[in-house]
Amino acid sequence: MRFIDEVVIFVRSGKGGAGSSSFYRAPFVPKGGPDGGDGGRGGDVILIASSQLTTLEDFTLNRKVSATDGNKGAGSRKSGKAGKDLILKVPAGTIIYNDETGEILGDLENDGEKLIVAKGGQGGRGNVHFVTSTNRTPRRIDPGGDAIELKIRFELKLLADVGLVGKPNAGKSSLLSALSDASPKIAAYPFSTIEPALGVVKVGEYGRFVLADIPGLIEGAHTGRGLGIRFLRHIERTRLIVVMIETSEENYTEVRNQLLNELHSYSESLSRLPKIFVRSKSDDEKPATNKSRMKFDHVISSLTGDGLPEFVDIVSKALNQQH
Ligand SMILES: Nc1nc2c(ncn2[C@@H]2O[C@H](COP(=O)(O)OP(=O)(O)OP(=O)(O)O)[C@@H](O)[C@H]2O)c(=O)[nH]1
Ligand SMILES: [Mg+2]
């Protein structure tokens, strides 16, 4: 499955069916009254959030979707059938925009949350409704409400509790893999991760938090360098950021400042999130050429497992303190 976090689609609701203009006819009743029934309502376009989905990929296959129109009314006061609603499942964490105006139509964060993005047209009234004291045989009907056509943009922001930030190759994916069932790509070269991955980390018997791994950040990411900062949106809604710096870095403080700077350039809110600083690959201890003395909150090795249980503790305590 490809990871897609932004997509534009066209939706159309159903048009309401027209009311019917009809008159009662029967043997020996030459001039019956009006009996034209109402048209059916047009189908709505409805979005429903699902926590099972983590990509918008499905929407790239079919970018034009439509609910069905309501049927016309008929004689004998028969109502037309309502159009069928179109129900689209989107991943929980999807924000819906009117692509033309930029207006936010909704933000579907929780599983099962619903949003009607395009309401179907009302069914038109049949001529039975138009009888007046002066007109007993009206031909008048309602044509039925119009369909709504809309260009909408989905933007997915994955929902996680903790976001991992670091330079490429810092060992972010290795940590996610060591702590959860997720199996992100791990490799000895930069930018091995090209899309975000989520993993559930268990804490004790009942606790858990969701950890998000995103592609590495390099200096100038906010100007589009490397894979850029596009993926930072996926950690915007986390509650805690883990900043990871690998042991063999020559200058920890410089790396830390670069990373914090990129976060800050992306958004104020990201920059304000609480942070835990972790030194990774502790097994990789090189001779102490490193001149910068930076105090880390914690030190780990995903390879040997050193410091991992404590890491989980520290993170879960920090999360609990926020409640
Ligand atoms: N010795 C040692 N190597 C590690 C450790 N953690 C990760 N590595 C190695 O470091 C390299 C990069 O690891 P990744 O987990 O892919 O790093 P990343 O931060 O996800 O990299 P990008 O996705 O490119 O940003 C791989 O060769 C890993 O095997 C560790 O604790 N000790
Ligand atoms: Mg990675």
Task: Identify the burial level of 250 via C-beta atoms within 10 angstroms of its C-beta, where 0-12 means exposed, 13-18 middle and 19 or more buried.
Answer: exposed
| pLDDT value at 288 more than 80 | no
What does the alpha-carbon distance between residue 166 and residue 213 come to, in Å, rounded to a whole number?
Answer: 10
> Tell me, what's the pLDDT at 167?
96
Query: Is the CB–ligand 1 distance for residue 283 below 6 Å?
Result: yes
Helix (H) or strand (E) holding 47: strand 45-50
Q: Which of 113, 1, 8, 114 is nearest to 54 (CA)?
A: 1
> Model confidence at 71, in pLDDT bands (50, 70, 90)?
very high
User: Helical H runs in 226-307?
Assistant: 252-266, 268-272
Looking at residue 163, its pLDDT comes to: 96
- Token pair for residue 86? 């179109």
Task: Look at residue 225 in the predicted model and tell me its pLDDT.
Answer: 84
Domain boundaries, given as residue ranges, for the chain: 6-156, 162-321
CA distance 67 to 12: 6
Q: How far is CA 216 from CA 4, 148, 160, in A?
A: 18, 42, 17
Q: What φ, ψ does residue 13 adopt, rounded to 5°?
A: -85, 175
Predicted confidence at residue 4, as pLDDT, reads 86
Digit-coded pLDDT (tens) for 134-148? 998 899 999 999 999
The rounded Å distance from CA 54 to ligand 2 centre is 18
Residues with CB under 5 A from ligand 2 (ion): 172-173, 193
Ligand 1 atom nearest the C-alpha of 301 is: 31
> Which superfamily does 6-156 belong to?
GTP1/OBG domain (2.70.210.12)
Query: How do residues 188-201 score in pLDDT, each as one tens digit?
Result: 888 888 888 889 99
CA angle 51, 55, 58 (to 5 degrees): 110
Range with top average pLDDT, 26-40, 111-125, 222-236: 111-125
- Looking at domain 162-321, does it have CATH number 3.40.50.300? yes
User: Has this prediction a pTM greater than 0.85?
Assistant: no
Q: Which protein residue has the closest C-alpha to ligand 1 atom 26?
A: 188
